[in-house]
Structure 1
């Protein structure tokens, strides 16, 4: 199994390292790092070191050559506001790779880069829930998938980075070398087993104690449109199931209706913003999908037995007391 990497300026070191380490550990017995069953090369047009978003630079192995020498070309992106278009040499190389039927992989914001290079037309792609809105703003008319950890659409594979890069790499190792090398890599990396691509992405505002994939995906979809809440029927259709079936999943997993669970999620996020930010309540109301401040205040008081104003003042009193002590 042979993989070539193209690192964008300010690429995410963690995503790159996770992907490479799965290959490294699968390539040999134990963790001796000999590239026996896997080979990986960092490719460059200039051979200059590439700085990651953390400032750590990686030196390329070799110049751009024959893309057909690799099973996969992986583009690792990074900071969303510094994800530049690739230089023409890299775009040409990727187009040659696509023409040669080499599979293209976008890691982190690598999906953005592949789209800008004109290599994702007609393909779905997986992006981080955190960058869902950014993607829509930059690529009008495209619908990214941001409720799972990686996505395989024919000869295009994408993931949002972080730990998902390890799971995508393990998927490829299992495809080429078998389940045992993939599992070994993840276990040595202290990752508790391979996850399927459809596994929902984790999110700080989504703290739901259930493994039900329909419930988690439904809440992720709701979270991605908090400022313009989706109807429960729309969410069910997006998941490919009936509203009644979705309601049964919620009743079994959480003991509540989808509507109640979504409202609880919106209010939990609102409480977090009230407690940890100085945002005006009107702005928080809009961000969490409430029609106006009065509606937001009524819902907040009913849920937490306190108005947003009283809740924030009590937080300030607690913090002042701790500081004085």
Structure 2
């Protein structure tokens, strides 16, 4: 098959990738392989309906978090030639994930109205550059607290797999990178191209932007995605507690519907489930830190240590001090 630029009437989907230092290799590989397989028939890998470049300010190899290195394929060319610029992040403890020229390039792309997408912790890079304000950001539940602490004025949620509007996108990372790429392929190329990519990747069906991140609740074995989403939201708000009505609204239910869901699936009220989530977090803090009881109580949303200790004892059969000493012995 001829390249798309040699076939009249076909415009290739073009994506530029920016890889952060210590980027997540799996997220990048799944995204770009979805493009590769959607671009041509079967697994021929021709750049027929899609094209991609790894962009960088230098041609130095970029090392992923697992140690595998990737070579940039292009300098910083005019960003308006791309449909999207995708920033693939990785380890948060990397002090300078991208250099100053890269930040400038991203700001230039935003000024030219090129949609920007953050994959994994690539959203942190975009937010740090001031490019995620007024946009809903989707992050992994693992990174929710870090994002909220670093960017308290940004709207963020950690129950959905990805979010994509006209000018910004964000993705939790991991396998959800393939889901986001599939949605872009479906939008810009075709459903047939998406189907070809997913079949070769051995993915039965792409998940949508409203699907819930995989996360096993700490004390409830449940399969209902609405219940999982509610518990993830509760886990992400153990200190600054959130109302049950707001939890319900975030997953598209009324408070009464959420209460009925919890009662039917768990025999708990949402309020009691929320208390249990906070107490489970307290158990982790008791084992992982030497913080005083009052600090732990406040961190998990209780006003005083005595109330926290009574509930902990009632729930787990022993006071928090005994639980800590038994774990350290």
Task: Give the shorter-chain TM-score range.
Answer: 0.7 to 0.9
Q: Does 1:173 align with 2:162?
A: no
Size of the aligned set, in residue pairs, is 316
Comparing 303-312 and 60-69, the one that deviates more: 303-312
Q: Does 1:217 align with 2:229?
A: yes
- 8 A contact 1:85–1:117 mirrored in 2: no
Contact 2:135 2:155 in 1 (8 A): no
Partner of 1:107: 119
Pair 1:100–1:316, CA change in 2 (3 A): closer
Q: Deviations over 1:24-70 (max 9, x none)?
A: 22223333433333222111221111112222211011111122222
Equivalent runs, 1:1-325 vs 2, <5 Å = 1-82=13-94, 84=96, 86-203=98-215, 205-206=217-218, 208-239=220-251, 241-271=253-283, 277=288, 279=290, 282=293, 284-308=296-320, 311=323
Cα pair distance change 1:114/1:54, threshold 3 Å = same
Where 2:136 maps in the other structure, the secondary structure is coil
TM-score by length of 1: 0.84
1:314–1:114 distance in 2 versus 1, CA, 3 Å: closer
Tell me whether 292-301 or 277-286 shows the greater mean CA deviation. 277-286
Distance 1:228 1:45 in 2: 41
Write the distance in 2 (CA, Å) between the matches of 1:138 and 1:234. Answer: 23
Alpha-carbon spacing, 1:225–1:32, altered in 2? closer, same or farther (3 Å): same
Shift of 1:148: 0.9
Shift of 1:269: 4.0
Matched residues in 2 for 1:126 and 1:14: separation? 18
Unmatched tracts of structure 2, length 5 or more? 1-12
Counterpart secondary structure, 1:131: helix
The whole-number CA distance in structure 1 between the counterparts of 2:265 and 2:216 is 20
Task: Please state whether the residue corresponding to 2:138 is helix, strand or coil.
Answer: coil
The residue number in structure 2 matching 1:321 is none
1:234-258 Cα distance to aligned partner (Å, 9 max, x none) = 3234445432222123233333311
Q: Is the 8 A contact 1:83 1:109 kept in 2?
A: no
Cα distance in 2 for residues equivalent to 1:78 and 1:205: 24
Cα distance in 1, alignment partners of residues 220 and 190 from structure 2? 33
Q: Could you tell me how far apart the structure 1 residues matched to 2:156 and 2:323 are?
A: 37
8 Å CA contact retained: 2:61, 2:72 = yes
Q: Which deviates more from structure 2 when the two are superposed, residues 228-237 or residues 7-16?
A: 228-237
Name the CA distance, whole Å, in 1 between partners of 2:289 and 2:116. Answer: 43
Secondary structure class of the residue paired with 2:86: strand
Q: Give the aligned CA root-mean-square deviation in angstroms.
A: 2.8
Which ranges of structure 1 fall in alignment gaps of 5 or more residues? 318-325
Change in Cα spacing, 1:185 to 1:286, as seen in structure 2 (3 Å) is farther
1:75 shift after superposition: 0.9
Q: CA deviation at 1:159?
A: 0.9
Rounded Cα–Cα distance in structure 2 between residues aligned with 1:150 and 1:59: 27
